[in-house]
């Protein structure tokens, strides 16, 4: 289970004078600090998938990076399966599989070598890593390119490899930042099938997206944030009921103050 309560994270602005007029008007800019996230709360139970929605710049990536321990929050609480992430980041990190917005693969290594390296970082044995890579390669349909250098990969190949690398250690929770962005229809379906498989295994998943059809197909819960503040956190059924089953209208209603 994942619980996020009143999360807050700010960043110091190096030179406020260089900000655009639009950036200067953002209410989150206070003095020399930009409060990317000011009050975000939501929860996900085992076996559930939560879709994290919000306009560009809403604070989704900052929120996910705090959950993954890549960033340290300024306030709030994050608990994953009983472990306080903010107080015990090293312990929590072992339980988390995180895919960032950038794949960050080592281009001169093959897909297999990239995945194996992260398995080694997690203390897995060679046999464990080989078995896990074989299973992930089948699930993510990677057999045709697994032993090629990543520098020659397509966007879809890179994303599949990055996902496999993020979950090689069989984490207890999985966090995905826009996992289908830039993918073609076939690669997108493979990633969605993989998320569905995690759900079947009762692994809680949080993923951010701008594609509401993915939310409708996969999600049990929906969280919407705007300008660093939670605007909605409830079931997919309640979300859809806001606009008679039209998810796009429901999202716009929440952002525009309907909730």
Q: Which structural domains are found in the chain, ordered by start?
A: 2-95+171-255 (3.40.50.300), 106-170 (no CATH)
Pairwise pLDDT comparison (17 vs 92), residue with the higher score: 92
Rounded mean pLDDT, 204-213:
94
Is the Cβ–Cβ distance between 103 and 158 less than 8 Å? yes
Q: What is the pLDDT of residue 103?
A: 65
CA angle 148, 151, 154 (to 5 degrees): 80
DSSP state letter for 110: B
Q: How many other C-beta atoms lie within 10 A of the C-beta of residue 12?
A: 9
Distance of alpha carbon 97 from alpha carbon 8, whole angstroms:
22
Tell me the pLDDT tens digit for each residue of 3-32. 999 999 999 988 877 778 877 888 899 888
Q: Quote the CA–CA distance of 209 and 131 in Å, as a whole number.
A: 31
Tally of CA atoms within 13 A in the half-sphere of 172 that contains its CB: 15
Query: Which secondary-structure segment (H or E) carries 62?
Result: helix 60-67
Question: How confident is the prediction for the chain on average, in pLDDT?
Answer: 92
Q: Taking 70 as the threshold, does the pLDDT of residue 171 lie above it?
A: yes
pLDDT digits (tens, 9 = 90+) for 95-107: 999 998 776 899 9
Is the model's pLDDT at 129 over the cut of 50? Answer: yes
Assess contact for 97 and 81: CB atoms under 8 A: no
Q: Where residue 72 falls among pLDDT bands split at 50, 70, 90?
A: very high
pTM of the model: 0.91
Q: What is the pLDDT of residues 139-170, one digit of tens each?
A: 999 999 999 999 999 999 999 999 999 999 99
């Amino acid at each position: 289970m994942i619980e996020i309560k009143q999360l807050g994270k700010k960043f110091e602005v190096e030179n406020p004078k260089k900000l655009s007029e639009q950036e200067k008007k953002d209410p989150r800019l206070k003095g020399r600090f930009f409060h990317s996230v000011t009050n975000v709360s939501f929860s996900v139970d085992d076996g559930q998938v939560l879709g994290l929605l919000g306009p560009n710049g809403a604070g989704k990536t900052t929120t996910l990076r705090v959950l993954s321990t890549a960033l340290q929050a300024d306030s709030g609480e994050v608990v994953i399966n009983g472990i306080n992430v903010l107080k015990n980041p090293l312990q929590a990190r072992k339980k988390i599989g995180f895919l960032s917005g950038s794949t960050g693969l080592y281009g001169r290594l093959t897909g297999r070598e990239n995945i194996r390296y992260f398995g080694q970082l997690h203390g897995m044995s060679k046999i464990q890593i080989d078995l896990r890579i074989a299973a992930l390669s089948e699930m993510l349909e990677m057999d045709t390119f697994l032993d090629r250098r990543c520098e020659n990969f397509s966007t879809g190949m890179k994303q599949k490899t990055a996902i496999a690398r993020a979950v090689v250690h069989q984490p207890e929770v999985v966090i995905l930042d826009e996992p289908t962005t830039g993918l073609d229809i076939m690669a997108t379906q493979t990633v969605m099938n993989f998320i569905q498989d995690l759900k079947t295994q009762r692994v809680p998943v949080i993923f951010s997206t701008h594609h509401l059809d993915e939310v409708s197909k996969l999600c049990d819960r929906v969280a919407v944030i705007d300008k660093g503040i939670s605007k909605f956190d409830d079931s997919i059924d309640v979300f859809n009921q806001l606009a008679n089953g039209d998810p796009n209208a429901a999202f716009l209603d929440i952002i525009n103050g309907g909730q």
